[in-house]
Homo-oligomer: A and B are copies of this chain.
Amino acid sequence: MDTIEKLTEVFKEFPGIGERQAKRFVYFLMSKNPAYTENFSLLMKDLKKEIYQCNDCFRFFINKNKSKICEICSNPNTDSETLMVVEKDSDLESVRKSRVYHGRYFVLGGLVPIVEKNTKNMVRINELVDQIKTQAKLGLKEIILAFSLNPQGDHTDFYVRNQIKEMTKTHDIKISSLGRGLSTGTELEYSDNDTIKNALKNRQ
């Protein structure tokens, strides 16, 4: 494989990028001057240097002062009574950008496949249990499970509830899941049965 092919392979790993677009990226880089790719490489190096994974919530964060805890987890204004469990960093960012939630987060690191035996190794369930123990002493009152609404998300919701059931009972912590019903743009005429069922059940 020559360099063009090797780079094409790298780009093919990028989320949502196929062979054709990967190739176009390589041609794009070819047409740029060396300063461009040098700056690009430098930024990636900076990213790797600055990025840490928070010891509490496991999100990636820019960390210039080498702390082990991210700015959300270490912020005294963060509401310690709620902890939202999400699948991945981009879900967390999406919720954060909506500015309607002010509590703590926990990044599980994936969804739990429906047919899977070694589940424990696939997501950070042990780390979640540890984090709940720690937060329980600091006033945690509610855990919000915030997974995407599809079979694997549902299965993960079920799995996590089961794994933390005992402990949350002991510490009197409530478990909730994101509400279900009509989302923006939903047209009743084209809604599936589950959405209608949830919208009706959760009417208010």
Contact = CB atoms under 8 A, between A and B. Distances in A.
Interface string A132-146: 000000000000101
Contacts of A41: 40-41, 44-45
Interface string A90-102: 1101110111110
A197 B78 CA distance: 18
Interface string A23-57: 11111111100100111110111111011000000
B189 A186 contact: no
When all copies of this chain in the complex are counted, the total is: 4
B197 A98 contact: yes
Contact of A37 (B47, B90, B177, B197): B47
A155 to B, nearest CB: 15
A148 B10 contact: no
A100 B178 contact: no
A139 to B, nearest CB: 19
A115 interface: no
